[in-house]
Amino acid sequence: MNSTMPYYGELMALTAALIFSWTSIFFTTAGRRLNVTTVNLLRLPGATLCLALTHFILKGHIWPQGISLSDTAWIGLSGIIGLAIGDSALFKAFTTVGPRRSMTMMALAPVFTVVLAWIMLGERLGLWALLGIVIVISGVIIATMGKDGGTGQFSGLDPRVLRTGLFLAIVASAGQGLGSAFAKIGMNGAAEKTTLDPLGTTLIRLAFATIAFWLVVVPRQNFTRLRQTLQDRRGVLALTLAILWGPFISVWVSVIAIKNTEAGIAQVLLGTVPIFVVLPSWIVYKDRPTTLSLVGIAVAVAGGALIFLR
C-alpha cells in the first residue's frame, strides 16, 4: 500500500478507468476505419516504444534492471494473456457489438482476478470489500444492459454477430483479470525480496505481448494492403490517440493501481469503465443513457464507496 496518500491505488484504478473510457472510443473508431488486425499490429509496438523511451528518460536505461527470470516470466505472461490475447479480443468486440456491450462483459474481469489472487497471492478480502465488489459488478451490468435495446451505430445486430461479440468480450475479461493477478505476482517478487516499479512492469508486459502477437500474426499479413489501410488519416489519428491514452498511459496507471492495492480491488475499480464510457458514447455514437443506466451508475458508485470504507 502507498503510505503517503490514502487509497492511492484505488484512486489510480479509477483514473485508469476514466482514461480507458475515452480510449475505447478511439480504438473503436480506428478498428472500424483501419481494421482490427492493423490496430493490434501497431498498438503494442507503438506503446512499447513510448514506454521504453519514458523508462530511459526516467531511469537511465531502456529495460528494467535486476529483475529475476521468474518474475520477468510472470509479468511477461500477464502481458501475453492480458494485452495480446485479452485486448485483441476486446478490440474485435468493440467493432462487432460496440464499446458499451463489450464493456458489459468486462464486468466479469474482477471475478477472475479475485479468485486467482485469493489462490495464488493469499489476498483475503473482508465482508465489506466482497459486498462492494458484488454491488459494483451489479451496477455496471445494470448501467450497460439498460440500453441493450440498441440505438445508434450498433443497433439491430444479427443474433450470431451479437453472440460472437459478447463471447470475445468474455475472453477479454478473463484475459484482463488473469493478467492483473499474474502482474502482481511478478511485481511482488517470487521470493518477496525485490519489487519492480509499475513503469518497468508495464514495459515488460507490453514487450512480451508485442513479441507474442507479432510471431503469430505478422507471417500471415499482406503488407501492401496494410500500407493502403494506413492512408486513412482519420483512422491513423484515432489509432495514435488510442495508443497514447490506452496501452501507454492507462495501462501504466492501472499497474500503479495494482501495485498499491489488492489485485481484486484494483480490477473491480478498473472494471468501472462502462460507467465512465456513458458520456463519450453519448457524444460520439449518440448512444443516450436510459434511466435504468443511470440507476446502474448510482449502484456502482455505492459499491465503490463500500470498497473504500473496507
At residue 75, the pLDDT reads: 94
CA 150 to chain centre: 24
The answer for residues whose C-beta is within 8 angstroms of residue 157's C-beta and 6 or more apart is: 97, 150, 165
At residue 153, the pLDDT reads: 66
pTM summary value: 0.78
Backbone angles phi, psi at 4, to 5 degrees: -95, -15
At residue 6, the pLDDT reads: 78
The answer for residues whose C-beta is within 8 angstroms of residue 154's C-beta and 6 or more apart is: 97, 98, 100, 101, 285, 287
Instruction: For 92-123, give the DSSP string.
Output: HHHHHHHHHHHHHHGGGHHHHHHHHIIIII--
CA 91 to chain centre: 10
**Distance between CA 125 and CA 249 in Å, rounded?**
28
At residue 131, the pLDDT reads: 87
Residue 197 grid coordinates: 516499479
DSSP class of residue 264? H
> How far apart, in Å, are the Cα atoms of 53 and each of 203, 213, 244, 248, 256?
10, 21, 13, 11, 18
State the CB neighbour count (10 A cutoff) for residue 279.
13
At residue 145, the pLDDT reads: 66
If we measure between CA atoms, which residue out of 80, 79, 104, 84 comes closest to residue 94? 104
The overall longest dimension of the chain from CA atoms, in Å, is 56
At residue 1, the pLDDT reads: 46
* 155: amino acid identity, one letter: S
Q: Could you give the count of Cα atoms lying within 13 Å of 143 in the half-sphere of its Cβ?
A: 30
Element (H, E) at 163: helix 159-188
- Ranges of each domain in the chain: 8-148+158-308
pLDDT tens sequence for the chain (310 residues): 444 677 899 999 999 989 988 888 888 889 888 888 888 889 889 989 999 999 999 889 999 988 889 999 999 999 999 999 998 899 889 888 877 778 777 777 777 877 777 787 777 778 887 888 888 888 877 876 655 555 566 666 788 888 898 899 999 989 988 998 888 888 876 545 556 788 888 899 999 999 999 999 888 878 788 888 889 999 999 999 988 888 788 888 988 888 888 877 887 788 788 778 877 877 776 767 678 877 887 887 788 777 766 5
